[in-house]
A and B are shown apart, each in its own frame.
Chain A
Amino acid sequence: MKRDVLKFRKSDLLAAALVLLAALLTCALLPRLMQTGEFASVYQDGRLIRRVPLTVDQTFSVTGDYTNTVTVKDGKIAVTVSDCPTNDCVHQGWRSSGGAIICLPNRVEIRLPSDGTVDISVP
Protein backbone atom coordinates (compact mmCIF):
# COMPACT_ATOMS: atom_id res chain seq x y z
CA MET A 1 0.00 0.00 0.00
CA LYS A 2 1.26 3.43 -0.97
CA ARG A 3 1.10 6.02 1.74
CA ASP A 4 2.50 9.47 2.29
CA VAL A 5 4.61 9.34 5.48
CA LEU A 6 3.47 12.79 6.62
CA LYS A 7 -0.19 12.34 5.76
CA PHE A 8 -2.41 13.53 8.54
CA ARG A 9 -4.79 10.90 9.89
CA LYS A 10 -7.75 11.03 12.20
CA SER A 11 -5.82 9.34 14.96
CA ASP A 12 -3.17 12.06 14.76
CA LEU A 13 -5.78 14.71 15.27
CA LEU A 14 -7.13 12.81 18.24
CA ALA A 15 -3.66 12.38 19.74
CA ALA A 16 -2.88 16.06 19.22
CA ALA A 17 -6.14 17.04 20.85
CA LEU A 18 -5.34 14.78 23.80
CA VAL A 19 -1.89 16.32 24.23
CA LEU A 20 -3.34 19.79 24.00
CA LEU A 21 -5.96 18.92 26.59
CA ALA A 22 -3.36 17.44 28.90
CA ALA A 23 -1.16 20.50 28.52
CA LEU A 24 -4.02 22.89 29.19
CA LEU A 25 -5.12 20.89 32.20
CA THR A 26 -1.60 20.94 33.58
CA CYS A 27 -1.45 24.69 33.03
CA ALA A 28 -4.70 25.14 34.90
CA LEU A 29 -3.78 22.80 37.72
CA LEU A 30 -0.08 23.61 38.03
CA PRO A 31 -0.48 26.47 40.51
CA ARG A 32 -2.70 24.27 42.64
CA LEU A 33 -0.40 21.26 42.41
CA MET A 34 2.54 23.39 43.44
CA GLN A 35 0.84 24.47 46.65
CA THR A 36 1.52 22.43 49.73
CA GLY A 37 -2.18 22.01 50.40
CA GLU A 38 -4.89 24.39 51.48
CA PHE A 39 -3.91 25.99 54.76
CA ALA A 40 -5.18 28.97 56.68
CA SER A 41 -2.47 30.84 58.61
CA VAL A 42 -3.33 32.25 62.02
CA TYR A 43 -1.42 35.36 63.08
CA GLN A 44 -1.56 37.01 66.47
CA ASP A 45 0.17 40.35 67.08
CA GLY A 46 1.61 40.00 63.58
CA ARG A 47 3.28 36.66 64.41
CA LEU A 48 2.39 33.39 62.74
CA ILE A 49 1.16 31.11 65.51
CA ARG A 50 -0.58 28.30 63.65
CA ARG A 51 -1.24 26.81 60.22
CA VAL A 52 -4.52 24.98 59.84
CA PRO A 53 -5.29 22.50 57.06
CA LEU A 54 -8.77 23.28 55.72
CA THR A 55 -9.14 19.59 54.88
CA VAL A 56 -9.38 18.56 58.55
CA ASP A 57 -12.57 19.47 60.42
CA GLN A 58 -11.65 20.87 63.81
CA THR A 59 -12.33 23.50 66.44
CA PHE A 60 -9.73 25.44 68.40
CA SER A 61 -9.35 28.63 70.41
CA VAL A 62 -7.07 31.61 69.98
CA THR A 63 -6.69 33.46 73.25
CA GLY A 64 -5.30 36.94 73.73
CA ASP A 65 -7.17 39.83 75.30
CA TYR A 66 -10.24 37.90 74.15
CA THR A 67 -10.92 34.37 72.98
CA ASN A 68 -11.88 33.48 69.41
CA THR A 69 -13.29 30.04 68.78
CA VAL A 70 -12.27 29.00 65.29
CA THR A 71 -14.04 26.17 63.45
CA VAL A 72 -12.95 24.36 60.30
CA LYS A 73 -15.65 22.42 58.51
CA ASP A 74 -16.10 21.14 54.95
CA GLY A 75 -13.06 23.05 53.68
CA LYS A 76 -14.21 26.34 55.16
CA ILE A 77 -13.12 28.26 58.23
CA ALA A 78 -14.91 30.76 60.47
CA VAL A 79 -14.67 32.41 63.85
CA THR A 80 -17.81 30.85 65.26
CA VAL A 81 -17.75 32.31 68.78
CA SER A 82 -15.92 35.32 70.16
CA ASP A 83 -16.13 37.23 73.41
CA CYS A 84 -14.67 40.34 71.78
CA PRO A 85 -16.93 43.42 71.90
CA THR A 86 -17.65 43.90 68.22
CA ASN A 87 -17.92 40.32 66.90
CA ASP A 88 -16.89 41.59 63.46
CA CYS A 89 -14.82 38.41 63.12
CA VAL A 90 -17.91 36.22 63.56
CA HIS A 91 -19.88 38.34 61.10
CA GLN A 92 -17.28 37.70 58.40
CA GLY A 93 -18.78 34.23 58.13
CA TRP A 94 -17.45 31.04 56.54
CA ARG A 95 -14.57 31.53 54.13
CA SER A 96 -12.41 29.18 52.11
CA SER A 97 -10.06 31.42 50.11
CA GLY A 98 -9.02 34.97 49.45
CA GLY A 99 -8.35 37.69 52.02
CA ALA A 100 -8.45 37.19 55.77
CA ILE A 101 -10.78 36.94 58.75
CA ILE A 102 -9.77 39.55 61.30
CA CYS A 103 -10.46 40.09 64.98
CA LEU A 104 -9.08 43.54 65.69
CA PRO A 105 -9.70 43.57 69.46
CA ASN A 106 -7.90 40.22 69.85
CA ARG A 107 -5.25 41.26 67.29
CA VAL A 108 -5.84 38.04 65.38
CA GLU A 109 -5.70 37.59 61.63
CA ILE A 110 -6.61 34.34 59.89
CA ARG A 111 -5.14 34.53 56.39
CA LEU A 112 -6.95 32.32 53.91
CA PRO A 113 -5.22 30.53 51.09
CA SER A 114 -5.04 32.74 48.02
CA ASP A 115 -7.84 31.98 45.58
CA GLY A 116 -5.32 32.71 42.84
CA THR A 117 -7.11 35.79 41.61
CA VAL A 118 -7.94 38.26 44.37
CA ASP A 119 -5.00 40.36 45.60
CA ILE A 120 -6.75 42.33 48.34
CA SER A 121 -10.25 42.53 49.77
CA VAL A 122 -12.34 45.53 50.68
CA PRO A 123 -14.60 45.10 53.69
Chain B
Amino acid sequence: MRRVRCLLLAAVLLLTGCAVQVQEPSLTRYEASFLSLFDTVTTMVGFASSEDEFRAVAQQIHDDLEEYHQLYDIYHDYPGINNLKTVNDMAGAAPVQVDRRIVDLLLLCKDMEQETGGMVNVAMGSVLQLWHEARMDALADPAHARLPDQQLLQQAAEHTDLDKVIVDEEHSTVFLSDPQMRLDVGAVAKGYAVRQVCSNAPKGLLISVGGNVCSTGEKPDGTPWVVGLENPDGGNYLHTIYHTIGAVVTSGDYQRYFIADGKAYHHIIDPDTLMPGTNWRAVSILCEDSALADALSTALFLLPRAEGQKLLDRFEASAMWVALDGSEYFSPGFEERLKT
Protein backbone atom coordinates (compact mmCIF):
# COMPACT_ATOMS: atom_id res chain seq x y z
CA MET B 1 0.00 0.00 0.00
CA ARG B 2 2.76 2.35 0.96
CA ARG B 3 4.55 1.50 -2.24
CA VAL B 4 1.49 2.36 -4.29
CA ARG B 5 1.25 5.71 -2.53
CA CYS B 6 4.91 6.39 -3.25
CA LEU B 7 4.44 5.62 -6.90
CA LEU B 8 1.39 7.84 -7.15
CA LEU B 9 3.31 10.67 -5.54
CA ALA B 10 6.18 10.20 -7.96
CA ALA B 11 3.79 10.26 -10.91
CA VAL B 12 2.10 13.43 -9.69
CA LEU B 13 5.47 15.13 -9.20
CA LEU B 14 6.63 14.18 -12.67
CA LEU B 15 3.42 15.43 -14.24
CA THR B 16 3.47 18.70 -12.33
CA GLY B 17 7.07 19.26 -13.35
CA CYS B 18 6.20 18.79 -16.96
CA ALA B 19 3.11 20.99 -16.82
CA VAL B 20 5.10 23.90 -15.41
CA GLN B 21 7.70 23.45 -18.09
CA VAL B 22 5.19 23.44 -20.94
CA GLN B 23 3.83 26.97 -20.66
CA GLU B 24 4.12 30.13 -18.68
CA PRO B 25 0.55 30.46 -17.45
CA SER B 26 -0.22 34.17 -17.87
CA LEU B 27 0.85 34.64 -21.49
CA THR B 28 -0.85 33.21 -24.57
CA ARG B 29 0.63 32.88 -28.03
CA TYR B 30 -1.14 34.90 -30.73
CA GLU B 31 -0.74 35.22 -34.46
CA ALA B 32 -1.96 37.86 -36.91
CA SER B 33 -1.57 38.16 -40.65
CA PHE B 34 -2.25 40.75 -43.33
CA LEU B 35 -2.37 40.25 -47.10
CA SER B 36 -2.45 43.94 -48.03
CA LEU B 37 1.19 45.01 -47.72
CA PHE B 38 4.09 44.87 -50.22
CA ASP B 39 2.14 42.48 -52.47
CA THR B 40 2.87 39.63 -50.07
CA VAL B 41 1.80 38.12 -46.77
CA THR B 42 2.75 39.73 -43.45
CA THR B 43 2.65 37.54 -40.34
CA MET B 44 3.25 38.42 -36.70
CA VAL B 45 3.65 36.09 -33.75
CA GLY B 46 3.85 37.13 -30.13
CA PHE B 47 2.78 36.46 -26.57
CA ALA B 48 0.30 38.62 -24.69
CA SER B 49 -2.01 38.39 -21.72
CA SER B 50 -5.09 39.00 -23.86
CA GLU B 51 -6.10 38.93 -27.51
CA ASP B 52 -6.97 42.63 -27.40
CA GLU B 53 -3.49 43.45 -26.18
CA PHE B 54 -1.89 41.50 -29.02
CA ARG B 55 -4.31 42.93 -31.57
CA ALA B 56 -3.32 46.47 -30.61
CA VAL B 57 0.39 45.68 -31.06
CA ALA B 58 -0.25 43.93 -34.39
CA GLN B 59 -2.38 46.83 -35.65
CA GLN B 60 0.33 49.36 -34.75
CA ILE B 61 2.95 47.34 -36.62
CA HIS B 62 0.60 46.98 -39.59
CA ASP B 63 0.01 50.74 -39.66
CA ASP B 64 3.74 51.48 -39.50
CA LEU B 65 4.48 48.97 -42.28
CA GLU B 66 1.65 50.40 -44.37
CA GLU B 67 3.35 53.81 -44.38
CA TYR B 68 6.55 52.23 -45.73
CA HIS B 69 4.50 50.23 -48.23
CA GLN B 70 2.91 53.41 -49.60
CA LEU B 71 6.19 55.35 -49.69
CA TYR B 72 8.09 52.62 -51.58
CA ASP B 73 5.25 51.70 -53.96
CA ILE B 74 6.14 52.28 -57.64
CA TYR B 75 2.74 51.25 -59.05
CA HIS B 76 0.17 53.31 -57.13
CA ASP B 77 -0.45 56.93 -56.14
CA TYR B 78 -1.67 57.83 -52.67
CA PRO B 79 -3.35 61.13 -51.90
CA GLY B 80 -1.07 63.61 -50.19
CA ILE B 81 2.04 61.39 -50.49
CA ASN B 82 5.07 61.78 -52.72
CA ASN B 83 6.24 58.20 -53.09
CA LEU B 84 8.70 56.42 -55.39
CA LYS B 85 6.09 56.40 -58.16
CA THR B 86 6.05 60.20 -57.92
CA VAL B 87 9.86 60.21 -58.15
CA ASN B 88 9.71 57.91 -61.20
CA ASP B 89 6.98 60.00 -62.84
CA MET B 90 9.13 63.10 -62.42
CA ALA B 91 12.29 61.50 -63.87
CA GLY B 92 14.25 64.06 -65.90
CA ALA B 93 11.77 66.79 -64.96
CA ALA B 94 12.26 67.97 -61.38
CA PRO B 95 13.42 66.95 -57.91
CA VAL B 96 10.63 65.61 -55.71
CA GLN B 97 10.22 66.49 -52.06
CA VAL B 98 10.04 63.17 -50.22
CA ASP B 99 9.70 61.69 -46.76
CA ARG B 100 12.92 61.11 -44.86
CA ARG B 101 12.24 57.36 -45.04
CA ILE B 102 12.74 57.48 -48.82
CA VAL B 103 15.97 59.46 -48.51
CA ASP B 104 17.38 57.05 -45.93
CA LEU B 105 16.45 53.97 -47.97
CA LEU B 106 18.06 55.35 -51.14
CA LEU B 107 21.27 56.26 -49.29
CA LEU B 108 21.48 52.70 -48.00
CA CYS B 109 20.78 51.40 -51.53
CA LYS B 110 23.70 53.42 -52.87
CA ASP B 111 25.99 51.83 -50.28
CA MET B 112 24.70 48.34 -51.07
CA GLU B 113 25.19 48.82 -54.81
CA GLN B 114 28.86 49.65 -54.13
CA GLU B 115 29.32 46.77 -51.71
CA THR B 116 27.74 44.16 -53.98
CA GLY B 117 29.60 45.22 -57.11
CA GLY B 118 26.36 46.34 -58.72
CA MET B 119 24.39 43.14 -58.07
CA VAL B 120 21.81 45.07 -56.04
CA ASN B 121 20.92 48.15 -58.07
CA VAL B 122 17.61 49.88 -57.38
CA ALA B 123 18.07 52.02 -60.51
CA MET B 124 17.29 48.94 -62.64
CA GLY B 125 13.59 49.77 -62.66
CA SER B 126 13.36 50.11 -66.45
CA VAL B 127 14.82 46.62 -66.94
CA LEU B 128 12.69 45.09 -64.18
CA GLN B 129 9.59 46.78 -65.61
CA LEU B 130 10.04 44.80 -68.85
CA TRP B 131 10.30 41.55 -66.89
CA HIS B 132 7.35 42.53 -64.72
CA GLU B 133 5.19 43.16 -67.80
CA ALA B 134 6.31 39.88 -69.39
CA ARG B 135 5.35 38.02 -66.22
CA MET B 136 1.99 39.74 -65.90
CA ASP B 137 1.19 39.06 -69.57
CA ALA B 138 2.27 35.43 -69.17
CA LEU B 139 0.14 34.91 -66.09
CA ALA B 140 -2.88 36.48 -67.79
CA ASP B 141 -2.40 34.49 -71.00
CA PRO B 142 -0.05 31.52 -70.38
CA ALA B 143 -0.40 30.15 -73.91
CA HIS B 144 1.24 33.26 -75.35
CA ALA B 145 3.90 33.72 -72.67
CA ARG B 146 7.11 35.21 -74.00
CA LEU B 147 10.32 36.80 -72.79
CA PRO B 148 10.94 40.55 -72.88
CA ASP B 149 12.40 41.77 -76.13
CA GLN B 150 16.23 41.57 -75.97
CA GLN B 151 16.68 44.89 -77.72
CA LEU B 152 14.33 46.63 -75.31
CA LEU B 153 16.20 45.07 -72.39
CA GLN B 154 19.53 46.34 -73.77
CA GLN B 155 18.09 49.81 -74.25
CA ALA B 156 16.63 49.86 -70.73
CA ALA B 157 19.99 48.74 -69.32
CA GLU B 158 21.50 51.98 -70.62
CA HIS B 159 19.49 53.83 -67.98
CA THR B 160 20.50 52.17 -64.73
CA ASP B 161 23.32 54.41 -63.47
CA LEU B 162 22.65 54.84 -59.76
CA ASP B 163 24.82 57.99 -59.72
CA LYS B 164 22.02 59.67 -61.65
CA VAL B 165 19.75 59.24 -58.66
CA ILE B 166 20.41 62.61 -57.04
CA VAL B 167 19.59 62.46 -53.34
CA ASP B 168 19.65 65.80 -51.53
CA GLU B 169 19.76 64.92 -47.85
CA GLU B 170 19.57 68.50 -46.65
CA HIS B 171 16.42 69.38 -48.58
CA SER B 172 15.02 65.83 -48.53
CA THR B 173 14.54 65.63 -52.29
CA VAL B 174 15.21 62.95 -54.91
CA PHE B 175 15.78 63.61 -58.60
CA LEU B 176 16.35 61.11 -61.39
CA SER B 177 18.53 63.09 -63.79
CA ASP B 178 18.11 60.43 -66.48
CA PRO B 179 14.55 60.80 -67.82
CA GLN B 180 14.38 57.11 -68.80
CA MET B 181 15.53 55.81 -65.45
CA ARG B 182 13.09 54.17 -63.02
CA LEU B 183 13.58 53.12 -59.41
CA ASP B 184 12.50 49.68 -58.18
CA VAL B 185 13.41 48.99 -54.57
CA GLY B 186 11.88 45.51 -54.44
CA ALA B 187 15.19 43.88 -53.44
CA VAL B 188 15.59 45.92 -50.24
CA ALA B 189 12.34 47.70 -49.34
CA LYS B 190 10.70 44.90 -47.36
CA GLY B 191 13.84 44.16 -45.38
CA TYR B 192 14.39 47.84 -44.68
CA ALA B 193 10.78 48.44 -43.63
CA VAL B 194 10.83 45.41 -41.33
CA ARG B 195 14.07 46.59 -39.74
CA GLN B 196 12.72 50.07 -39.06
CA VAL B 197 9.41 48.81 -37.70
CA CYS B 198 11.11 46.14 -35.57
CA SER B 199 13.39 48.69 -33.97
CA ASN B 200 10.35 50.43 -32.46
CA ALA B 201 8.30 47.31 -31.71
CA PRO B 202 7.87 45.68 -28.29
CA LYS B 203 10.29 42.91 -27.33
CA GLY B 204 9.51 39.25 -27.94
CA LEU B 205 7.84 39.50 -31.36
CA LEU B 206 8.45 37.63 -34.57
CA ILE B 207 7.47 39.47 -37.75
CA SER B 208 7.60 38.27 -41.35
CA VAL B 209 6.93 40.43 -44.38
CA GLY B 210 6.95 38.08 -47.33
CA GLY B 211 9.64 35.92 -45.76
CA ASN B 212 11.73 38.81 -44.42
CA VAL B 213 11.68 37.54 -40.86
CA CYS B 214 12.75 39.79 -38.03
CA SER B 215 12.65 39.07 -34.33
CA THR B 216 12.65 41.63 -31.53
CA GLY B 217 13.98 39.11 -29.03
CA GLU B 218 13.41 35.60 -27.77
CA LYS B 219 10.08 34.25 -26.48
CA PRO B 220 9.00 35.32 -22.98
CA ASP B 221 10.10 31.94 -21.59
CA GLY B 222 13.61 32.61 -22.87
CA THR B 223 13.59 29.99 -25.63
CA PRO B 224 14.44 30.87 -29.23
CA TRP B 225 11.89 31.12 -32.03
CA VAL B 226 11.87 28.41 -34.66
CA VAL B 227 11.75 29.53 -38.28
CA GLY B 228 10.81 27.04 -41.01
CA LEU B 229 12.54 27.40 -44.37
CA GLU B 230 10.09 26.21 -46.99
CA ASN B 231 11.08 23.64 -49.55
CA PRO B 232 11.46 25.10 -53.09
CA ASP B 233 9.50 22.09 -54.36
CA GLY B 234 6.59 22.61 -51.94
CA GLY B 235 5.52 20.33 -49.12
CA ASN B 236 7.40 20.12 -45.84
CA TYR B 237 10.20 22.32 -44.57
CA LEU B 238 13.67 22.08 -46.00
CA HIS B 239 15.09 23.03 -42.60
CA THR B 240 14.02 24.65 -39.36
CA ILE B 241 16.34 27.08 -37.63
CA TYR B 242 16.61 28.64 -34.18
CA HIS B 243 16.18 32.37 -34.15
CA THR B 244 16.52 34.83 -31.28
CA ILE B 245 17.28 38.25 -32.72
CA GLY B 246 17.92 39.78 -36.13
CA ALA B 247 16.81 38.65 -39.57
CA VAL B 248 16.26 35.61 -41.78
CA VAL B 249 15.40 35.89 -45.45
CA THR B 250 15.40 33.70 -48.55
CA SER B 251 15.66 34.59 -52.23
CA GLY B 252 14.46 31.80 -54.47
CA ASP B 253 13.78 31.05 -58.11
CA TYR B 254 10.39 29.59 -57.16
CA GLN B 255 8.91 32.72 -55.61
CA ARG B 256 7.74 34.89 -58.51
CA TYR B 257 8.03 33.41 -61.93
CA PHE B 258 6.29 32.62 -65.18
CA ILE B 259 6.67 29.84 -67.69
CA ALA B 260 7.50 30.41 -71.34
CA ASP B 261 8.26 27.56 -73.77
CA GLY B 262 8.25 25.14 -70.85
CA LYS B 263 10.99 26.99 -68.99
CA ALA B 264 10.52 28.95 -65.76
CA TYR B 265 11.69 32.56 -65.58
CA HIS B 266 11.84 34.06 -62.10
CA HIS B 267 12.09 37.65 -60.88
CA ILE B 268 15.70 38.03 -59.68
CA ILE B 269 17.40 39.61 -62.67
CA ASP B 270 21.18 39.58 -63.11
CA PRO B 271 22.30 43.13 -64.02
CA ASP B 272 25.05 41.72 -66.25
CA THR B 273 22.99 39.32 -68.36
CA LEU B 274 19.60 41.07 -67.89
CA MET B 275 18.21 37.54 -67.44
CA PRO B 276 17.08 35.69 -64.31
CA GLY B 277 20.05 34.44 -62.26
CA THR B 278 20.80 30.75 -62.78
CA ASN B 279 23.46 29.98 -60.16
CA TRP B 280 21.11 28.80 -57.41
CA ARG B 281 17.60 27.64 -56.60
CA ALA B 282 17.57 29.55 -53.32
CA VAL B 283 19.82 31.39 -50.90
CA SER B 284 18.88 31.95 -47.25
CA ILE B 285 20.62 34.62 -45.21
CA LEU B 286 21.02 34.99 -41.44
CA CYS B 287 22.08 38.48 -40.47
CA GLU B 288 21.45 40.85 -37.60
CA ASP B 289 20.29 43.65 -39.91
CA SER B 290 17.13 42.87 -41.86
CA ALA B 291 17.78 45.45 -44.59
CA LEU B 292 21.26 44.05 -45.18
CA ALA B 293 19.89 40.51 -45.13
CA ASP B 294 17.39 41.37 -47.87
CA ALA B 295 20.06 42.94 -50.10
CA LEU B 296 22.54 40.13 -49.41
CA SER B 297 20.02 37.45 -50.36
CA THR B 298 19.62 39.04 -53.79
CA ALA B 299 23.35 39.56 -54.22
CA LEU B 300 24.29 36.03 -53.13
CA PHE B 301 21.58 34.55 -55.31
CA LEU B 302 23.29 36.15 -58.33
CA LEU B 303 26.92 35.51 -57.34
CA PRO B 304 29.14 32.41 -57.29
CA ARG B 305 29.63 31.03 -53.80
CA ALA B 306 33.18 32.36 -53.23
CA GLU B 307 32.15 35.91 -54.02
CA GLY B 308 29.06 35.54 -51.87
CA GLN B 309 31.20 34.34 -48.99
CA LYS B 310 33.30 37.51 -49.23
CA LEU B 311 30.16 39.58 -48.72
CA LEU B 312 29.12 37.40 -45.78
CA ASP B 313 32.52 37.92 -44.16
CA ARG B 314 32.30 41.65 -44.72
CA PHE B 315 28.86 41.92 -43.09
CA GLU B 316 29.15 39.16 -40.47
CA ALA B 317 26.28 37.22 -41.99
CA SER B 318 25.85 33.54 -42.82
CA ALA B 319 24.07 31.70 -45.61
CA MET B 320 22.75 28.48 -47.03
CA TRP B 321 22.85 28.02 -50.78
CA VAL B 322 20.55 25.51 -52.47
CA ALA B 323 22.04 24.45 -55.79
CA LEU B 324 20.06 23.55 -58.92
CA ASP B 325 20.58 19.83 -58.20
CA GLY B 326 19.26 20.26 -54.65
CA SER B 327 22.68 20.14 -52.94
CA GLU B 328 22.99 22.45 -49.98
CA TYR B 329 26.06 24.48 -49.07
CA PHE B 330 26.53 26.19 -45.73
CA SER B 331 28.71 29.14 -44.79
CA PRO B 332 30.39 29.22 -41.38
CA GLY B 333 27.83 30.13 -38.74
CA PHE B 334 24.76 28.61 -40.40
CA GLU B 335 24.97 25.07 -39.08
CA GLU B 336 24.89 26.24 -35.45
CA ARG B 337 21.45 27.68 -36.07
CA LEU B 338 19.99 24.54 -37.67
CA LYS B 339 17.36 22.73 -35.65
CA THR B 340 16.44 20.15 -38.26
Contact = CB atoms under 8 A, between A and B. Distances in A.
A122 B229 contact: yes
Contacts of A46: 33-35
A121 B15 contact: no
Contacts of B229: 121-122
A45 to B, nearest CB: 8
A119 B45 contact: yes
Given A93-B234, A98-B237, A119 B7 contact: no
Contacts, number: 109
Interface residues of B, number: 47
A104 B34 CA distance: 10
A91 interface: yes
B190 to A, nearest CB: 12
Contacts of A93: 233-235
Contacts of B313: none
A19 B34 CA distance: 47
A115 B95 CA distance: 52
Contacts of B248: 122
B230 A122 contact: yes
B234 A91 contact: yes
B139 A118 contact: no
A104 B35 contact: yes
A122 B255 contact: no
A5 B315 CA distance: 68
Interface string A47-74: 0000000000000000000000000000
Interface string B23-52: 000000001011100011101010000000
Contacts of B11: 19, 22-23
A120 B10 CA distance: 37
Given A19-B7, A92-B234, A118 B228 contact: yes
A19 B45 contact: no
B249 A30 contact: no
A85 B237 contact: no
A117 B224 CA distance: 11
Nearest to B35: A107
Interface stretch (B64-72, B120-128, B176-184, B205-213): B205-213
Contact of B227 (A19, A22, A118): A118
Given A95-B235, A120-B227, A122-B227, A19 B250 contact: no
A109 B252 CA distance: 21
DSSP majority for the A interface? mixed
Contact of A118 (B18, B34, B240, B256): B240
B14 interface: yes
A121 B230 contact: yes
B81 interface: no
B79 to A, nearest CB: 23
Interface string B263-286: 000000000000000000000100
26 contacts: A15-B7, A16-B7, A26-B15, A26-B18, A27-B15, A27-B22, A30-B18, A85-B136, A91-B234, A92-B230, A93-B234, A93-B235, A100-B33, A104-B39, A104-B40, A119-B45, A119-B226, A120-B43, A120-B228, A121-B230, A122-B211, A122-B230, A122-B248, A122-B284, A123-B210, A123-B255
Given A107-B35, A119-B225, A120-B213, 15 more contacts: A19-B10, A23-B11, A23-B18, A26-B15, A91-B254, A93-B234, A93-B235, A98-B237, A111-B31, A118-B227, A120-B45, A121-B228, A122-B284, A123-B210, A123-B211
Interface of B: 3, 7, 10-11, 14-15, 18-19, 22, 31, 33-35, 39-41, 43, 45, 136, 139-140, 206, 208, 210-211, 213, 225-230, 233-237, 240, 248-250, 252, 254-256, 284, 339
In the A-B complex, the 10 residue pairs with the smallest Cβ-Cβ separation, listed nearest first, are A93-B234, A23-B14, A85-B139, A27-B18, A118-B228, A121-B228, A122-B211, A93-B235, A119-B225, A123-B211
